[in-house]
Structure 1
Amino acid sequence: MKYPVRITPIALEDAEEFYLWMSQDSPVNGANWFNGLLAAIDTLSSMPHRCPVAPEKEIVGQEIRYLLYSKRYRILFGIEGDAVVIYHIRHTSQQWMTREEFLRQPYRNIENTEPEKST
């Protein structure tokens, strides 16, 4: 079964912050990281249950899973009905997602998440 993947505006903001931070030193590395992140997120369209349950499950009171990207970033997501919803992108050194963060903002489709091209 293929799951549609949706990303919350907050998760997209997380990704954009990391992209901008990395792009300060190297626009190419920032774009490569961002494009790799999107590719990793896209893999969640098949077999999202392969990913482990995140510790945030206890805080949020709902099953939250994570996919580790680039050894340092956790893509926090849930399976809502027939869709995968990305809630946050966190560096492994960041605090866990809070219940308040989980309850914020609706999701949107992932198709419109490409970074601006750098010259």
Structure 2
Amino acid sequence: MTFRVELSQRAEADIKSAFAYIRKQGPADPRDWKAGLEQKLAGLETFPEACGLAPENEFVKVEIRQALYGPFRIVFTIREQIVYVLTVRHAARLALPRDELDKIN
């Protein structure tokens, strides 16, 4: 079974923000980081259920999973044949706040 991966507006903004931060702070090449992220996202097309549950999962009715990419968490939910990426955030950041999780239910 193949899934389609879709990014939320927030996930797109998160990626742009991380790219800009890496470009300014280094040491990695932001283009390499983004290419690796795109490869990781493409991997979600085949078996997203293999990824573990995200900490946020316990607060919502829908299932929320996460894939790790270096120090980043790709937080997503699966809706039929769509992997919907909610956010891409540094693992050191706190979990998604309750008000954002309420929008997912």
Structure 2 length as normaliser, TM-score? 0.89
Alignment coverage as a number of residue pairs: 103
Q: Deviation per CA, 1:69-109, whole angstroms, max 9, x where unpaired?
A: 01x100000101111100001111100012322427xxxxx
1:99 aligns with 2:98: yes
Residues 1:95 and 1:25: Cα distance change in structure 2 (over 3 Å): closer
Q: What is the deviation of 1:8?
A: 0.2
Letter in 1 for 2:33: W
Mapping 1:13-92, distance limit 5 Å: 13-26=13-26, 29-70=29-70, 72-92=71-91
Q: What is the deviation of 1:12?
A: 0.8
Task: Kindly report structure 1 stretches of 4+ aligned residues shifted beyond 3 Å.
Answer: 25-28
Q: Which moved more, 1:2-11 or 1:93-102?
A: 93-102
Runs of 5+ unmatched residues, structure 2: none
Q: Deviation per CA, 1:32-53, whole angstroms, max 9, x where unpaired?
A: 1111111101100001010001
State the match for 1:111 in structure 2.
none
Q: Is the 8 A contact 2:3 2:82 kept in 1?
A: yes
* Separation of aligned partners in 2, 1:37 and 1:69: 7
Q: Is the 8 A contact 1:73 1:89 kept in 2?
A: yes
Q: What is the deviation of 1:27?
A: 9.4
The percent of aligned pairs where both chains have the same amino acid is: 29
* Separation of aligned partners in 2, 1:82 and 1:5: 9
* Separation of aligned partners in 2, 1:21 and 1:48: 28
* Separation of aligned partners in 1, 2:50 and 2:73: 14
Residues 1:35 and 1:77: Cα distance change in structure 2 (over 3 Å): same
